[in-house]
Chain A
């Protein structure tokens, strides 16, 4: 039988050399590190020994030595955003076992394939072990000091010649909150806004769309709260593979409430298999579906009229747009029969509470923001926001993508969504204790300081485009990447060109990542080994806004360093390089001034304290390290459904919501419990209640933007109100309730401008305190916006994908005209007009998505032997009819060709009815092959992932959301032929 028992060198080493040289006294840390990379333990031995007794090799031991004490350490899974607690068993500094984390209210002991195998990450025989650089096309080892000083020197050279904006800083959703915050701060001190991370390519449109609707760009409820829902729609998401543990809550809720689980997707996913209703749609028609559902809802009067009247602005304009989507038009565009639309609409609007769950099927579109807005409007129209069992349950991607977004690894904002305007900069300068003027001096100009940077979806365009097309001093010359794969961005053939043109490429990651392999660079590439989050302390925020503290399980393995240390030492190296070049700018001393530095790294606790001090607007201010650690310690005291600490919990946490889901207003001492459910008027603000955020002014077109007759429980103002400022306090006569210390703080920072000090900029938290004393929510009580006038499409309208098979619809539903954004040209319509010539030769819609075994760009998970074994080949799902027409059999090799750059990919065919006719699906986790070429040799020796394959992004094509430059990964065209 031709089973692949081993994949090249990957597994053979393990099998062949089980137990070599382990010390007799047990596996200590040094022995372990010596062994890591050449051996596994345990059953690995069974294949290699002879006939009689299967002997344990001499002096060896099992993974866990029962004769020695075991330490248990709690950390958080580093894969998806559900936030499963991982309980590690540690002996002699080696992670020897993993036990179920029964106490966690989120995962309750369980894991998915990735979570159950995280231990392998820290055994890491495929990890990057020491700094390396590319010299003439070959990898050379070098010391940390040399590497950092060379990198710093090159960065300063670029800065000198082209300005700080010519270095693109790419951060990571794998950072802890503290790491993400520090990197954003680093970008600010470096002097650029071109600092981005994975949220750009997963939920940037969600954040933009949802924040523009009701104030905060995050999941409104929680995974646990889904247990309360009576109807759930999962649209554009496959949580069974992407967030498996969330299915525990979804399926339990479905069972307990006998709830409707409706899956709307182009693909019959593993989630759809558990649905009570499955609606197969044409890819890229989300808005017509939502408007089609609303058409039935409005037609039958199923909408929540009181909710709309009290808490929603601009629903009339939605009605006008929805009226166009009668069942006939809806079916013509989406392919969904009217009867099913009516049924789903009725269920969603009448079987309440109902929740809408979405993921990247909604967001990774040229109309991503509009999609998300439409989804939100559906929730608003049916009154399904702000109560248990309702809400926009947005499943974020990576383990800390929420936190990294919150801390401004975003080209449009400083930490905590303050934006980039002068007020924002002045606020953060106060927090950082630096002068505003000194910060301006770090940038090319004040204008550049307030201009959104270049996003990760287009960095390569900013490298390759002519200088005059990029609105900054020079094109991008250098790139520093922390924890990010290179195969995650569309148009890889173009990205390859961009990478090859860079002067400097620095990758800081536990693995070499696909950046090491995907271009033909020969010099100027550095790989620095970062440790995983299991090897350092820090908090991370899961999708439901709960923050959890992860404690270091083991010290960083090999020569890897924590993100904190890398940044600290890089800042120091930059100082040296600046001095050498006689440049006045300095980094380390100013930037790390407030932090405790231990072993050349700021401590996570001190970083989080600065976050608490500055991140008032999102209510990260109450989330102190002490409170988070207490929550981790007493996980068992939190209720499974309400997430609230039960009456028998210790006094310090009693009444808290688990992980203090933000907003957790005020100082930690105020003991705000966090907000489990956003905008929940049924609770007092001090109990985690809330209202829609008054973020967009008080009046528009003669109509109020403040809530009417709706307020959170116990509010002294029983109507809408604007956000709290000193001026508002004075008007209400509450100003003198501020303590002397609070007034002094306001006076110190604002002086004559004291009236303009708001709850979000008052570092003393006095305004917040006073507002909450009166039962008022500091951010004001506004209406949610059905009409977001500041967006390109204030009311979402259907726009055909850039590459659409329905060229007949382009004239009626064109994409937005060509424009500029994020310092770059955006040529959506010009490219869309190509569809007419492209479509006949590329008749299959190509969409992409997740596999449960892998995550993100997949380097980490494809290097994990326990996961890699489960998915050994990149594949394309193709419908049996399409396969038969092309004489393609299941498991055969095929070429998939994309519509741009003559791109092609050699993958295996998976013939299945999961995809409908004319649709193909490819997972996005693979890299290492490029257009049929196996590039394994391009990885530094011993660090190549076990499984390699073609990246789907070799085939994906142009298309960007106008608001966030989200890339289009879900709808493009392709052709498939037998290889």
Chain B
């Protein structure tokens, strides 16, 4: 390769000479008259110079689109300086937003844990349980959750893996991980979306915000203080998670589908916008869901059971969902005692 460089340079010179040589080989037919001012060709009339045009495009956020004969109309875009903004977003904004959101949330949770510790049941376990989520609800939750975790990790990998993982495992291994991550990301989008839809159908009736939610929020949901504001099946916090999941997840899913089917319904600007929406919402959701995971596991005693076995301790339920417990008890669906005890 190196040996050929000299040859290359020689050829470059020759090529230049071929083009530049026109001036010397051509005799001026009309004697030695100085050249008159050049008539401007049509293509230059009233048109900006290339660099001016590019500057305008950049400042105005426009694209220069022309005509092309091949069917791929994306190719008709000559210059799209917006690519630069997208790059700035991807490399800077998204990295910061993602970093701050995810790391910030983790830090926040750590601090909270240190300060508050695990929230225990006030009266301890009663030994009696109530069915909080049936099998369908739990299965669906875990499907969505599983998808979300993989989607989140593979997504984060596309944004941060190059800086975090690649130096550790090397390019080949990292590419393989990223490739499979991408496949997983693309394919799991479908069960994730289906799960969201089902979740919406299953839980929407219990997630309509009402006045109690304001009280609940005002009292810090009992997490910050020690009071336990009354709540129905879902308290305001859970409702927030629900709506974040449904709305945020929905938006992430929709914007994701634009990316999976490139240019099917949109153009390059739409693709860039889709990606921006998708990635920003995704990192915010990841942060929110981290909090959700914390509360559901480490943060609160008894909470995991709701999605684990589906059976929650009566005391836990009374503390956090007093109204729901009342409803359930009124329906006569008492919680069975552990060990298969008969309802009272």
Contact = CB atoms under 8 A, between A and B. Distances in A.
B39 interface: yes
A51 B179 contact: yes
Interface residues of B, number: 32
Contacts of B39: 258, 260, 276-277
A871 B27 CA distance: 40
Interface stretch (B69-77, B82-90, B132-140): B69-77
Given A109-B18, A273-B42, A3 B26 contact: no
Contacts of B67: 912
Given A230-B30, A640-B22, A869-B70, A258 B42 contact: no
B41 A872 contact: no
A256 interface: yes
A108 interface: yes
Contacts of B115: none
Interface string B170-188: 0000001001100100000
Given A228-B29, A230-B30, A252-B22, 18 more contacts: A1-B261, A4-B71, A51-B183, A52-B179, A227-B26, A252-B26, A256-B22, A256-B28, A258-B36, A258-B39, A260-B39, A273-B42, A275-B41, A276-B42, A278-B42, A641-B26, A870-B69, A872-B69
Interface string B50-84: 00000000000000000101111010000000000
Nearest to A229: B29
Interface string B154-198: 000000000000000000000010011001000000000000000
Contact of A640 (B26, B42, B71, B263): B26
Interface string B5-35: 0000000000000100011011111100001
A51 B184 CA distance: 13
Contacts of B70: 869-870, 872
A256 B26 contact: yes
A258 B35 contact: yes
A274 B43 contact: yes
Contacts of A641: 25-27
A272 interface: yes
B80 to A, nearest CB: 16
6 contacts: A3-B72, A254-B41, A273-B43, A640-B25, A640-B26, A871-B69
A309 interface: no
Contact of A257 (B28, B43, B176, B264): B28
Contacts of B180: 51
Given A102-B18, A870-B69, A275 B26 contact: no
Interface string A1-32: 11110000000000000000000000000000
Contacts of B27: 228, 641
Interface string A834-856: 00000000000000000001000
A403 interface: no
Nearest to B27: A641
B220 to A, nearest CB: 50
Nearest to B28: A257
Contacts, number: 79
Contact of B42 (A3, A102, A228, A272): A272
A711 to B, nearest CB: 23
B18 A108 contact: yes
B262 A230 contact: no
Contacts of B26: 227-228, 252, 256, 640-641
Contacts of A229: 29
Q: Do most interface residues of chain A lie in helix, strand or loop, or is the interface mixed?
A: loop
A261 B42 CA distance: 10
A912 B41 CA distance: 20
B114 interface: no
Contact of B71 (A228, A353, A388, A872): A872
A766 interface: no
A389 interface: yes
Q: Which 9 A-B pairs have CB atoms at the shortest separation, nearest pair first?
A: A276-B39, A1-B263, A228-B29, A258-B38, A3-B72, A273-B43, A258-B35, A389-B29, A640-B25
A640 B180 CA distance: 58
Contacts of A260: 39
Contacts of B261: 1
A793 interface: no
Q: Max chain B CB contacts within 10 Å: which of A1, A261, A273, A853?
A: A1
B25 A639 contact: yes
The size class of the interface chain A forms with chain B is 35 or more
Interface string A256-296: 11101100000000001111111000000000000000000
B71 A257 contact: no
A1 B74 CA distance: 10
A388 B31 CA distance: 13
A3 to B, nearest CB: 5
B29 A276 contact: no
B40 interface: yes
A388 B38 contact: no
Interface in A37-78: 51-52
B176 A52 contact: yes
A48 to B, nearest CB: 17
A276 B39 CA distance: 6
B29 A353 contact: yes
A254 B42 CA distance: 13
Interface in A626-647: 639-641
Contacts of B22: 252, 256, 640
Contacts of A274: 41-43
Contacts of B262: 1
A4 B262 CA distance: 14
B30 A257 contact: yes
Contacts of A230: 29-30
A108 B22 CA distance: 11
A260 B39 CA distance: 7
B173 to A, nearest CB: 11
Nearest to A225: B29
Interface in A345-393: 352-353, 388-389
Interface in A207-265: 227-230, 252, 254, 256-258, 260-261
Q: Max chain B CB contacts within 10 Å: which of A108, A257, A353?
A: A257
Interface in B261-311: 261-264
A109 B26 CA distance: 18
Nearest to A347: B39
Q: Max chain A CB contacts within 10 Å: which of B29, B69, B72?
A: B29
Nearest to A272: B42
Contacts of A51: 179-180, 183
A668 to B, nearest CB: 29
A389 B30 CA distance: 10
B217 to A, nearest CB: 46
A105 to B, nearest CB: 10
A277 B41 CA distance: 8
Contacts of B74: 1
Nearest to A853: B69
Contacts of A869: 70
Nearest to A890: B67
Contacts of A640: 22, 25-26
Nearest to A641: B26
Contacts of B28: 256-257
A84 B36 CA distance: 33
A52 B6 CA distance: 36
A388 B42 contact: no
A277 B40 CA distance: 9
Contacts of A273: 41-43
A207 B271 CA distance: 57
Contacts of B38: 258
A530 to B, nearest CB: 30
Contacts of A258: 35-39
Contact of A276 (B18, B30, B40, B71): B40
A346 to B, nearest CB: 13
Q: Max chain B CB contacts within 10 Å: which of A4, A51, A261, A872?
A: A51
B215 to A, nearest CB: 51
Given A272-B42, A275-B41, A1 B29 contact: no
